Chain A
Amino acid sequence: MNDIVVLVKASLNPDMVRVGSDGSIDLASIPLKISDIDRNAVEEAVRLKEVLGGKLYAISILTWGPVASRMKDLKLAVQEALAKGVDEAFVVADDSLTPGDQATTASAVKEVLSKEGIKPALILAGEATIDEVTSQVPGRLAALLGYQYLSFVRKLELSGGKIIAERDLEDYIEVVEADLPAVISVTQEINEPRPPTLLQIRRASRKPIKELRAGDLPGIQMPLRKILGIKGIQVTRKQVIIEGSSMEEIADKLIDALIQEGVLKI
Chain B
Amino acid sequence: MKVLAVAYEEKDIPELIVGTRKFVGDSANIVLLAVHKSASSGDFNINVDKVYLAETSRPEEIVAAIVKLVNEEGVSLIVGEAYKNLRDAFSRVAGQLSMPLITDATEIKLGDDRLVVKRGFLSEKAEMIAEVPLPAAVLFLPRFVKAEGVEGGQPVVTRLEELGGDSKVRLVDVKPKEVGGANLEEAEIIVGVGRGFKSREDLEMAFELAKLLNGQVGCTRPIAADLKWLSEDHWIGISGKRVSPKIYFAIGISGSPQHMSGVQSSKIIVAINKDKSAPIFKQADYGVVADLYQFLPVFIKKLKERLG
Contact = CB atoms under 8 A, between A and B. Distances in A.
A176 B170 contact: yes
Contact of B126 (A130, A133, A136, A231): A231
A59 B283 CA distance: 36
Given A230-B127, A254-B270, A130 B85 contact: no
B192 to A, nearest CB: 15
Contacts of B98: 103, 221
A interface, by DSSP: helix, strand, loop or mixed? mixed
A251 B239 contact: no
Residues of A in contact with B, size category = 35 or more
Contacts, number: 248
Contact of A175 (B94, B173, B287): B173
Contact of B132 (A224, A232, A235): A224
B261 to A, nearest CB: 9
B122 A188 contact: no
Interface in A118-151: 128, 130-144, 148-151
Bin chain B's interface residue count: 35 or more
A22 to B, nearest CB: 13
Given A225-B132, A258-B247, A263 B267 contact: yes
Interface in B71-90: 83-85, 87-88, 90
B242 interface: no
A238 interface: yes
B295 A232 contact: no
A227 B127 CA distance: 11
A241 interface: yes
B170 A141 contact: no
A178 B169 CA distance: 5
Contact of B172 (A30, A177, A242): A177
A238 B281 CA distance: 10
B268 to A, nearest CB: 5
Interface string B244-257: 00110000000001
B129 interface: yes
Contacts of B303: 251, 255
Q: Which of A103, A139, A255, A266 has the most CB of B within 10 A?
A: A139
B302 interface: yes
B126 A225 contact: no
A241 B289 contact: yes
Interface of B: 8, 57-59, 83-85, 87-88, 90-96, 98-104, 116, 121-133, 166, 168-177, 213, 221, 225-226, 238-239, 246-247, 257-258, 264, 267-270, 276, 279, 281-290, 294-295, 298-299, 301-303, 306-307
